[in-house]
Amino acid sequence: MCLIKGFIVYNFFKINSHHRKLNNRIMKWIYIITLLTSISVSSQAQKYVERDGEVHFYSKAPVEDIEAHSEKGQSIVDVGSNRIAFEVPIKSFQFEKDLMQEHFNENYMESDKYPKATFSGTFSGFDINASGKQNVKASGEIFIHGVREKWNAEGKMRVENGKIYLETTFFVLLETFDIEKPKVLFYNIADKIEVNLNFVYDEM
């Protein structure tokens, strides 16, 4: 009888011990899953996206200035890792004259062959908790007309109503990106093109 009681008591504690170990494992996995989820949410909350950014370029010409606009700029900013990337479809640029737009896409930018201009890199000088415009710098690689180049640019960023605003102006040398200058006098554009970006980012 004593042996039976001892056996029952032994197995009771053995089962309880097994349950405690099982519960500990379950709690451990719940903790890990919760931690990973919180990290994922935190990382996601630091990313901001722009889907319809304004891109404008301008060049002085003897007879008529050349300029075009696009509202198809797409960009993502990660304020956690200070990374930024953007792209704009070349064919999205709209000119005042159809003939000018046709020459731009077919003869100079070869848009079918090189459909997008892109940039990817990092930025510094921005604090999402600060107020007012902040001077920022970006460095990385820009890709235009099949040519990839190291690139540095400066701009301004600010936070307003939960959105991030970015504005920057930089210059592109046609020669750097193997873009042939128009030979027609009417399109005698400058060697250096002024490019302006205005992006408004929403939290992802």
DSSP-assigned states of every residue in 95-120? -SSHHHHHHIIIIIS-TTTS-EEEEE
Is the Cβ–Cβ distance between 119 and 140 less than 8 Å?
Answer: yes
CA distance 141 to 115: 17
CA distance 154 to 84: 13
pLDDT, residue 190, reads 76
Give the pLDDT confidence score for residue 4 in this predicted structure.
45
**Is residue 9 very low, low, confident or very high in pLDDT (cuts 50, 70, 90)?**
very low
* Alpha helix positions (H), the chain: 2-45, 98-103
Eight-class DSSP state of 90: G
Calculate the average pLDDT of the chain.
83
Q: Which residues pair with 148 in a beta bridge?
A: 143
Residue 51 pLDDT > 70: yes
Res. 119: pLDDT tops 50: yes
pLDDT over 80 at 34, yes or no? no
Looking at residue 59, its pLDDT comes to 86
Q: Report the pLDDT value the prediction gives residue 13, as an integer from 0 to 100.
A: 46
pLDDT number for residue 99: 87
Phi-psi region of 134 (alpha: psi -120 to 50; beta: other; left: phi over 0): beta
Q: What is the SS3 assignment for 64?
A: coil
How many angstroms from the chain centroid is the CA of residue 199?
A: 11
42 pLDDT higher than 80: no
Q: What would the mean pLDDT of 154-166 be, rounded to a whole number?
A: 97
Per-residue pLDDT at 45: 56
Q: Mean pLDDT over residues 162-180, rounded?
A: 94
Cβ contact 67:98 at 8 Å: no
User: What's the pTM?
Assistant: 0.75
Out of 56-65, 92-101, 108-117, 125-134, least confident range: 56-65
pLDDT-derived band of residue 192, with 50, 70 and 90 as boundaries? confident
